[in-house]
Amino acid sequence: MQTGPDVLRDTDWTRTFHAYGSGADAPDHLAPLLTGDPGGSERALGYLYSAILHQGTVYSATVPAALFVAGILDRPALAAPATTPFTASGESAPLRQLLLGFLASAAEGALHCPAPGDQAPPEPPSEADLDRVYAALNAPDAAEDAEIWEDPVMDALMYRVGPDMRAAAPVLYEAVHPHLTHPDPVTRMHAVEAATAAARLGGFDPDLSGAADMAESRDEGAVIVLAVGQAGRDTAEFLAHADPAIRACAALAPSQAGNPAATDELAAALADPAAADAWFGRRPAYFPGHVRFTLARALAERAAPDDAERLLPVLRAMVPLSSTYVGAQDVGPLLRVAFPAAGEAGACRDLTAVQRAYLSALLDNDALWEGRIANFRVHLKGLGLPGDRVGISALAGV
């Protein structure tokens, strides 16, 4: 399977598509990554993160684009810094790190495609249908032709993306693997994330031993423990680690979902959610936002309604950090534990003392109720609760 410049040259990009239409524009957008032109490289990054991988969705053009990127990772010019609004905080970082991040995100996106056996594949389109669809995608006014995206042929082409990405996964992994021992620790972290995602996509176990041997910080250790968990391995040994961040990362592993000690570790980490949010200098990609968001979601997923009283101190610790912008992400999962009968008739009658205590805690933070942003209010209504402070106060009996 070709990688690098050969892909850019030999792929019939007119027979691919991305979020905005035909992939025929890919060579012009991606070629600057070969020349070292700073402005062109940043535009190429923007193209990769917006068109080729749009909000986590992969397309037929994503496959050759990922193979192209995989084949240029060892180029010295990729040590140059670049900035793109599609990465965390829009901060400047070496091109190599940003491209490793793209490969990790592309593999993660492909993991959401139907796996073999998940569903019956659509009827393969005829060559005539393919010619018709690609002609429409390559037409000058294709961007304005919404009907082409509704064509059943497009469904069949989108279905192919998953198998094609899975077929490319071993090649992507082999390209990323040497960077697990890169001299720069942040590059190693990006490589661990990309290698793990490619291995999960390909259905094989990644060898992270080189990165583990070189790990020299909490950030690196956390990324490796998270990767071990994502690979399906047992992380129980790390639950006894001296570092609370490492223990929490071990507790997040799917293998620990039924382990009460792991659940207790998540609750312990959220006893001081501000400290958890400040754990990392370079936050692992596993945490797409504040660390407390992921910890709270995992804790709530493993909790039963009977755990609501035990988790009340966690909610009270979270509320001061919350706001109407993020309430659904941090306190929202815990509210769902306390109010499991969302949507059922009479769900908000005859509340227990614990449920009233949950609601009372929400009233202590003005930021949960200020402004016009309705995120948190919508979440409350989804639980069958009033969406306003007055209604919550009345229900809580305060």
Residue-wise pLDDT for 94-118, tens only, equals 999 999 999 999 999 999 988 777 7
Q: Report how many domains make up the chain.
A: 3
Residue-wise pLDDT for 46-58, tens only, equals 999 999 999 999 9
Task: Fill in the DSSP letter of residue 50.
Answer: I
Q: Is 203 exposed, middle or buried (0-12, 13-18, 19+ CB in 10 A)?
A: exposed
Please say whether the beta carbons of 172 and 103 come within 8 A.
yes
Q: Both 264 and 148 in a single domain?
A: no
Residue 295 structural domain: 235-302
**What whole-number distance in Å separates Cα of residue 194 and Cα of residue 208?**
11
For 57-125, the DSSP string reads: EE-TTHHHHHHHHHTTTT-GGGGSEE--TTSGGG--EEHHHHHHHHHHHHHHHHTTSPPTTSSPPPPPP
Residue-wise pLDDT for 19-48, tens only, equals 999 999 999 999 999 987 888 899 999 999
Length of the chain: 398
Q: Is residue 263 part of a domain?
A: yes
Residues 6+ apart with CB under 8 A from 394: 386
Q: Is residue 90 part of a domain?
A: yes
Amino acid at 159: Y
What sign for the dihedral angle of Cα 314, 322, 290, 380? positive
Q: Is residue 153 part of a domain?
A: yes
Q: Both 13 and 149 in a single domain?
A: yes
Q: Is the pLDDT of residue 335 over 90?
A: yes
Q: Is residue 224 part of a domain?
A: no
Q: Both 25 and 125 in a single domain?
A: yes
Q: Both 69 and 183 in a single domain?
A: yes
Which residue, of 302, 321, 336, is where some domain finishes?
A: 302
Q: Is residue 223 part of a domain?
A: no
Q: Both 151 and 273 in a single domain?
A: no
Q: Is the pLDDT of residue 193 over 90?
A: yes
Q: Is residue 228 part of a domain?
A: no
Q: Is residue 342 part of a domain?
A: yes
Spatial CA neighbour of 64 closest among 95, 28, 36, 26: 26
Q: Both 363 and 319 in a single domain?
A: yes
Q: Both 199 and 249 in a single domain?
A: no
Q: Both 56 and 194 in a single domain?
A: yes
